[in-house]
Amino acid sequence: MIALLTRDMRLAVRAGGGFGLGLAFFLIVVVLVPFGVGPQGALLSKIAPGILWLGALLACLLSLDRIFALDWEDGSLDLLATAPLPMEGIVSVKALAHWLTTSLPLVLAAPVLGVLLNLPAPGFGWLLVSLALGTPALSVIGTFGAALTVGLKRGGLLLSLLVLPLYVPTLIFGAEVARRGAEGYDVTTPLALLAGITCGTIALLPFASAAVLKINLR
Amino acid sequence: MNLNALWEYANPKKFIATTDRVLPFVAWMAALLLVTGLVWGFFFTPDDYKQGATVKIIYLHVPAALMAINAWLMMLVTSLVWIVRRHHVSALAARAAAPVGMVMTLIALATGALWGQPMWGTWWAWDPRLTSFLVLFLFYLGYIALWEAIENDDTAADLTSILCLVGSVFALLSRYAVNFWNQGLHQGASLSLDKEENVADVFWYPLLVAMAGFALLFVALVLVRTRTEIRARRMRALEARERMQA
């Protein structure tokens, strides 16, 4: 399992710039927002938590099809499926690798981009916490979507259509934590619910992803 | 009736034969109930003392919303049946129900907007109920798109039924998440069987008829579409056999 994890991470970092792409996308989204809504600081600081959450979510979405597509093309997914590792384990490791290589850099970059959007000072900590707690759910849900669409030739758009509705609860609670944090309110309830969603998806969704992947490899 | 006898309809031939007999009856009953309910509701009930004549949108809005949710529940059940017992008719019924459910969702949203404009002064508000219906609509879109995208029938049935299961959980989660996220304009349930404060009987009876009509309409449409799917699949099989022999 650890070998698979290190292999996936090495591939992600070395092969073809997929690693920095999500970060660059995140940066561009955040830069484009003031062009769209105007440069007023008060407005920006009000919508900053939501924009940062949305940007991180979209950047995460953008890299989902890479989770299985390359392994599917060169046949290593078939090899993995016949390996002694259970499919649920493979799927979980893939999700973990995606989180470490794509989501974690987004989490770490978010406060820096928060400066650009005039995020209020108390918001930085909660933004970091909410993203760190919420992005694992995004990666796990995204792995499910990637497993669903792995065999399709033009699965990218379909993948977004399938995954984005599944992101709704995570986004609601995550952005709520960041927003309340930025405005100085109590964040306990949404934080607990966000943690609940993350734990629930990590515990249960790999089974669905594994089942779906088995069907696709049939 | 013996419950095991239900599984006989998993045989496509038996399904077609039975629905041949049942379908005209269901369709005519649906038409009759719909016409009765809507005409009764539109022309023979008093105007509401606050809402005036706009209250009559209820006879389209509520039944459509009801069927939008029930269609998804039906897809969930048929998907489960497909996963557990692998009856093709079940998978095809789920596939057939999805666009009907999607249209019902759209009707509920559209009539809601038409009703909301004079009553709340806005076509749309990010109210929990409205929002969760929009999310439900997105779930329908994804489900249908996945069916369309996959070429192999069995793979498509497998994948969509798992998506339906996972989607149901997330749809439910979203429902409560949006509840948390914003307070609503939409009233709570006023048609519950066990509550004191419900709509008055004058509105309730025609609404009941309209709801039964919508339910039967849904059943009729799903039956027709399932039969079409079965026949289309049979035709493809025949064509493939002919090519083999040629």
* Residue B12: inside a domain: no
Residue-level pLDDT at B46: 78
* Residue B64: inside a domain: yes
The DSSP string of A49-78 is HHHHHHHHHHHHHHTTTHHHHHHHHTTHHH
Residue-level pLDDT at B196: 54
Q: Which of residues 113-172 of A touch B (CB under 8 A)?
A: 144, 148-149, 151-152, 155, 158, 161-162, 164-166, 168-169, 172
Phi, psi of B52 (to 5 degrees): 65, -145
* Residue B174: inside a domain: yes
Q: What gap in Å lies between CA A121 and CA A139, rounded to an integer?
A: 28
Q: What gap in Å lies between CA B41 and CA A180, rounded to an integer?
A: 46
- pLDDT tens track for B182-232: 766 677 666 655 555 567 777 788 888 999 999 999 999 999 999 999 999
Residues of chain B found within 8 Å of residue A218, distances taken between Cβ atoms: 155
Give the C-alpha distances (Å, rounded to integers) separating A57 from A97, A135, A162, A175, B66: 17, 8, 14, 11, 32
- pLDDT tens track for B104-131: 999 999 999 988 888 888 888 888 888 8
The two tokens of residue B239 are 């064509």
Q: ipTM higher than 0.90?
A: no
* Residue B26: inside a domain: yes
* Residue B193: inside a domain: no
Which of A158, A173, A176 shows the shortest C-beta gap to B146? A158
What is the percent of chain B where pLDDT is above 90? Answer: 49
Question: Which residue ranges in chain A fall short of pLDDT 70?
Answer: 13-19
* Residue B15: inside a domain: no
The two tokens of residue B199 are 């709509």
Mean pLDDT, rounded, of chain B: 87
Count of structural domains within chain B: 1
Q: How confident is the model at residue B56 (pLDDT cuts 50, 70, 90)?
A: confident
Q: Would the CB atoms of B162 and A208 count as touching at under 8 Å?
A: yes
Classify each residue of B204-222 as buried b or exposed e, where b means 16 or more C-beta atoms within 10 Å of its C-beta: eebbebbbbbbbbbbbbbb
Q: What is the pTM of this model?
A: 0.89
Residue-level pLDDT at B165: 94
Give the C-alpha distances (Å, rounded to integers) separating A54 from A110, A131, A138, A184, B172: 11, 11, 12, 21, 22
Which residue segment(s) compose the domain that B173 sits in? 22-183+200-245
> Of A197, A102, A200, which Cα lies nearest the Cα of A146?
A102
Classify each residue of B144-159 as buried b or exposed e, where b means 16 or more C-beta atoms within 10 Å of its C-beta: bebbebbeebeebbbb
Asked if the model's pLDDT at residue B151 lies above 70, the reply is yes
Unique residue bearing structure tokens 């769209």 = A36
Q: Would the CB atoms of B165 and A208 count as touching at under 8 Å?
A: yes
Residues of chain A found within 8 Å of residue B150, distances taken between Cβ atoms: 151-152
Residue-level pLDDT at A15: 64
